Structure 1
């Protein structure tokens, strides 16, 4: 029971949710156990070692737009040198160190999940957003949710029980109301995320091959449905990526800022959709196409499978779908045609 109480208090301490009385209790437990002191020092040192990470993607895309014939002037900016298709995916680079540290801390960090919060729910509601649209809702507990295009959120009209649980298909940004006694849990088809009070993004579309969780502040625990025994701890300003939904191999890397002079949350590339921006770095054409479908309300089909693997870097905000595709076609050799709401890439 002592070990379980220690992990509970440690989780609250790192999340900034511990009360003065609980802090005294934690100090007493630390004074009695060298093992607890060692774990406390390792974890607090890890979570306090914050180093700003800014990946600059300001550069030469202005030259590209000047050579593309479009009907309206464009405002493409802050784009890095284009990266060719044989470039290794950027988000894999920094995974090893973060993976090792998080794996060390993972299993003992949160208390076991033995609540049955859903049993007390009397009424469920569903919020859906179509293509080209976003929604914002404040849940009954004060949690704020921004729902991206082509997404669905299932939530209770009123939370009850020991936990606050919702279900997501698509992408949403959560700013969770602090309530240490009632953890907030987001369920997706392939994983769940458990938090205390925090701000983070979850991207879990059915038509994407990958799943992402981006943590802006606070503390979250990620559990894969295929590997429920492992509790993965995500550090603030980091991103968890499960590249293949059917595997258990994941990466944890720092967030990317598309403006090197702005390290605020408004410049985080992974949550750029909140500001109606389409931003990508060394991202595959097929992945960009899926995001573009949601932003522009179109369907993109590839007649040439090889072109799905092209990689691009760019930032688009007010540009049309034609301006986007014209810019990308200047970097890699492809053409497209539009038939109603469907765009064919060949």
Structure 2
């Protein structure tokens, strides 16, 4: 129920609220405008959620651009005529600049780089259970790697992840547990969550099972920070740089989605792999391809664009690759053949 929404993140998972923020559906706009009027005590939550939506949708104008526009719009209303006033103003400005420069250096002084030493990794078609020195249990999915910082658990607990891992973090209030990926950083005290960050895929994902985690972008921008609660997930889509001939490509802000964990039968889709269940929820062949390749350690070529768009919902456990292909064929027909250790899918 909408009246039970207690955090901005709750609003962001409501599709009608997203359309209200986008201004794309008149009925949603009318509904939410009326709801805000009828629920004035929650207007501040709605405004914060709308602001967060704009950030996540990459529609907020960068602060420096806003400041420049304001400065351009402001015109001096009068000139100071007395020279000594100008002198004091200049002296004050110099003092302020020096003070702010010192403060900026103090606040933004370079942190000591984290050095990662011991690592664990898995190949295609394999998984691994790891117990870190602090007691944290990590399940590492196929084709993944996790690195521990030097001196892990002495003063801090920091690891770096490439691929996918399920964490059951040992609680330690004095030493927050941190996981760094290419796209974001996760900070926790003690909790259970799943991170997916394969470099070749166009997105990264954080899914929370128990406790709470803080997810922030690796650029350190405090505006791009979310706190997830149990049953929530965040998906981070990295935009590709688009360039025009002769014009240098400019980086685009990533798209971020907030949603809920998906349950299919008795499995939570995002973490089913931990119990050796391969679950697809309305995925196309193109989306399933890298997952099946990692799971079975085999190369797949999609030889037909139509087949690549075929969509499937299915659960597998102990089936081999050929049993999986047969069951998928029963849902939507396609052909396949083996060639040089590769499976080629055609219509």
Tell me the TM-score normalized by structure 1: 0.63
1:155-304 equivalences in 2 (<5 Å): 155-156=148-149, 158-159=151-152, 163-225=156-218, 228-229=221-222, 230-244=224-238, 246=240, 247-259=253-265, 262=266, 267-304=267-304
CA RMSD of superposed structures (Å): 3.5
Q: Which segments of 5 or more consecutive residues in structure 2 lack a partner in the other structure?
A: 22-45, 56-106, 241-252
Which structure would you say has the larger Rg?
A: 2
Structure 1 unmatched ranges of 5 or more: 1-41, 50-90
Residue aligned with 2:158, SS: strand
1:337 alignment counterpart: 337
Matches within 5 A, 1:120-139: 124-139=117-132
Match runs of 1:22-41 below 5 Å: none
CA distance in 2, matches of 1:208, 1:305: 19
Quote the Cα distance in structure 2 between the aligned partners of 1:131 and 1:198: 28
Distance in 2 (alpha carbons) for counterparts of 1:93 and 1:338: 43
- CA deviation digits over 1:200-252, x for unaligned, max 9? 00011122222111100111111223673311111211111124455521111
SS in 2 for 1:326: helix
The Cα shift of 1:95 comes to 8.5
Give 3-state SS (helix, strand or coil) of 1:228's partner. Answer: coil
Deviations 1:8-38, CA, capped at 9 Å, x for gaps: xxxxxxxxxxxxxxxxxxxxxxxxxxxxxxx
The whole-number CA distance in structure 2 between the counterparts of 1:191 and 1:234 is 14
CA deviation map 1:97-141 (0-9, x unaligned) = 9x977676899xxxx99995755x6x7111110111111111111
Contact 2:239 2:255 in 1 (8 A): no
**TM-score of the pair, normalised by structure 2:** 0.63
Contact 2:130 2:139 in 1 (8 A): yes
Number of matched pairs: 251
Q: Distance in 2 between matches of 1:92 and 1:292?
A: 32
Q: How many angstroms apart in 2 are the aligned matches of 1:113 and 1:175? A: 33
